[in-house]
Amino acid sequence: RVVYALAAGIVINILVFVFLVYPLQSDVANVEQRTRAAESALAAAQAEFGRANGALTGKDRALKELDTFYRSVLAKDLTGARRLTFARLAQLAAKSSLDFERRRYEPVVERGSNLTRLKVSMELMGNYADVRDFIHEIESSPEFVVIDEINLAEGSQGDSMLRLTLQLSTYFRTGEQ
């Protein structure tokens, strides 16, 4: 009787293990695997959110900096752009001991842009050191003036004077933007 009872107990334990414990153990293993997969997906989603948030923050910062550039650096209108180039370039030329021969201004509306380009053409006379100083002054000035083209030629008098022809540009906003 005791042996039959022990044998019946072993058989019952084996059946409980096979039909109850083993399937539950597999379910626990599957839950742990799904938990790891969910944690991995969460980490990937958080990283993607961080990248998207960084891009949005970067875009906002770029828009703010562009707005500051438009308000603080660029001229407000054609009159401001002409004043900036006409007066300032004349000052820089006089400071560099260059003589004005002539200058010309031409506004160019850029298609599909809210900016207008003011093209400036200047002819100056002076020696090489003065020309070099003038170009350096333009490049290091706080005004937004771009040197598009430089032509340097000997003067017509045959002395050491040089003729400097400059093509410059500055920009201003078109209309109320």
With 0-12 / 13-18 / 19 or more C-beta atoms within 10 angstroms meaning exposed / middle / buried, residue 134 is: buried
Q: Which of 20-29, 76-85, 112-121, 128-137 has the highest mean pLDDT?
A: 128-137
Interval 18-34 mean pLDDT: 82
Question: pTM of the full predicted structure?
Answer: 0.59
- Residue 42's pLDDT is 94
Residue 40 and residue 57: Cα distance in Å, rounded? 25
Nearest Cα to Cα of residue 172 among 94, 114, 97, 95: 114
Residue 19 and residue 143: Cα distance in Å, rounded? 85
3-state secondary structure of 138: helix
Tens of pLDDT, residue by residue over 52-98, are 888 878 888 888 888 888 888 888 888 888 888 888 888 899 999 99
